[in-house]
Amino acid sequence: FPDAIKLVETNDDLAQLVNLVAHVMGEHLAKWNAGIELLVALKANPKFAPGTTTEGAIQRSIEVMKIGGGQSASLDGFNTSDQIRIMAVAGSALAERDAMKARDLLTKSLNLARTGLDQKDPANRALAITGNNLASVLEEKGNRSPAETELMILASQTARKYWEVAGTWLEVSRAEYRLAKTFLQAQDLDRAFRHAQICVELCMENKAGEMDAFYSYEALALVEKARGNQVGFAKASDYAKHYFGLLSPEDQKWCEESLKKL
């Protein structure tokens, strides 16, 4: 990051670096205090323009780092949209480390969002991303408690609801994929099947790329297998294998493990 700061040429470059610092130092490394130091230092950059969206991003990201590190956040000076974004991003950052604290942050942000968000409010996207990340982490967790399973479902439903507002059909189809995998893990096979079908339909109707088509049929195949429908499993697996064969060698590497599970 110190080397990256030297490459900044505009205030917009700085804004992108703010997001990267928050993501890496928080979600990936959990180096909360070091993240705050980096973010504060960005204000001293010659390209920093006070009063712009970059300053807002820095202030929000500092509060995210504080929450992640267990410090008391000060949100009173932020508007409702920013408060939602701070808590949602913090919840996403804590998904793998403290699911229950992430649940509290998600719940608080959802309660605030119920006061009404404009369709173009960036808080919608923050909620969608947080929901997806939380659900994805909890799907992979062994020995989930009933409370964690409930959180997984809430998170997945949150992603679907807010991608409808903040995304395109592609994000919605991926949210349906997430719901299919979530309900598969929750052993609610009827709902898992319904969402897997919707995912496939969205991909086919919109001529999705080969990777999204592969994953849509992968989800359907896994659900059919769990339901004991061998004919449906075989058909969905064949489609998944077909789209896998159309992928580039690089993309196939991403999908190999999922293919093996079929």
> Residue 115: its pLDDT value, please?
84
Pair of tokens at residue 16: 């992108």
pLDDT-based confidence at 100, cuts 50/70/90? confident
Q: Which pTM was predicted? A: 0.88
Contact present, 19 and 57 (Cβ < 8 Å): yes
Q: Compare 5 and 81 and report the one with higher pLDDT.
A: 81
How high is the pLDDT of residue 40? 94
Per-residue pLDDT, 96 = 83
Angle of the 210-227 helix axis to the 230-246 helix axis, nearest 10: 160
Contact 159, 175 (CB under 8 A): yes
Q: What is the tens place of the pLDDT at every residue in 141-160?
A: 888 999 899 999 999 999 99
What does the pLDDT read at residue 219?
98
pLDDT digits (tens, 9 = 90+) for 192-235: 999 999 999 999 999 999 999 999 999 999 999 999 999 999 99
**On the CB side of 211, how many CA atoms lie within 13 Å of its CA?**
11
Q: Are 173 and 212 in contact (CB under 8 A)?
A: yes
Residue 191's pLDDT is what? 98
pLDDT at 169 over 90: yes
CA distance to 31, 238, 251, per residue, from 254 (Å): 28, 18, 5
For residues 144 and 162, give the distance between their C-alpha atoms in angstroms, rounded to a whole number: 25
CA angle 182, 188, 190 (to 5 degrees): 110
- 41-50, 73-82, 96-105, 228-237, range with greatest mean pLDDT: 228-237
Q: Is the pLDDT of residue 72 over 90?
A: no
Average pLDDT value for residue range 180-185:
98
Most confidently modeled range among 3-7, 97-101, 191-195: 191-195
| Residue 116 in this model has a pLDDT that exceeds 90 | no
In the predicted model, is pLDDT for residue 132 greater than 90?
yes
Return the pLDDT at 200: 98
pLDDT reading at 161 higher than 90: yes
Q: Is the pLDDT of residue 73 over 90?
A: no
What is the share, in percent, of the chain residues with pLDDT greater than 90?
86
- Give residue 260's pLDDT: 95
Q: Is the per-residue pLDDT at 49 higher than 90?
A: yes
- Burial class, 90, CB count within 10 angstroms (exposed 0-12 / middle 13-18 / buried 19+): buried
Structure tokens at 101: 């604290």
